Amino acid sequence: MLRTARNLGLGLILGISAAQAETVTIAALGDSLTQGYGLVQEDGFVPQLEAWLRARGADVTVINAGVSGDTTAGGLSRVAWTLTPEVDAMVVALGGNDLLRGIDPATSRANLDGILQAGDEAGVDMLLVGMEAPLNYGADFKDQFDGMYGELAEAYSIPLYPTFFDGLLAEGDINAARAAYMQADGIHPNADGVARIVEAMGPAILALIE
């Protein structure tokens, strides 16, 4: 009887330990910034993020669900099959291509809303990554575009990371940062730029999975 109790207790302890050690799977849903455009695979956002998290003791797998050129509409069209049963959390980083195409912020907002609703229904933890519009489209466009991220994060009670490029904006001199950390197109970060972006965003993702 005593042996049975011991075995049962050991089994429970081992079971709890196994559950605690279970790998957390994060889906990074985004565009070329997430996909790693112009970089060798290991220098892209997802591999660098995964390495950063693991270096800090997190047992994680980060799925690269970034598609170059994707808009919020593209993200909405594929979020359902991105959220496979093993996915525990999702980082949503979309909107840059909506900006480049001058898509109505109301349309972008509706698409992001649909993505977050899908994540909410799937029961995954989420982090929404913002993007800031330039003034080229006017102050009203910028207010609507920039503001939609905070509004949606509040509506779904999820954390908001202010902007994908926050790690580069912290440099102060944006022109110097662009010269040092962006590829020749001025849109996509180089490997060092990605490292700075990951260093800045990493704690928010670590907090999400903890």
Burial of 125 (0-12, 13-18, 19+ CB in 10 A): middle
Q: Return the active site residues.
A: 32, 185, 188
- Three-class SS string for the chain? CHHHHHHHHHHHHHHHHHHHCCCEEEEEEECHHHHCCCCCHHHCHHHHHHHHHHHCCCCEEEEEEECCCCCHHHHHHHHHHHCCCCCCEEEEECCHHHHHHCCCHHHHHHHHHHHHHHHHHHCCEEEEECCCCCHHHCHHHHHHHHHHHHHHHHHCCCCEECCCCHHHHCCCCHHHHHHHHECCCCCCECHHHHHHHHHHHHHHHHHHHC
**CA distance linking residue 145 with residue 48, whole number of Å:** 28
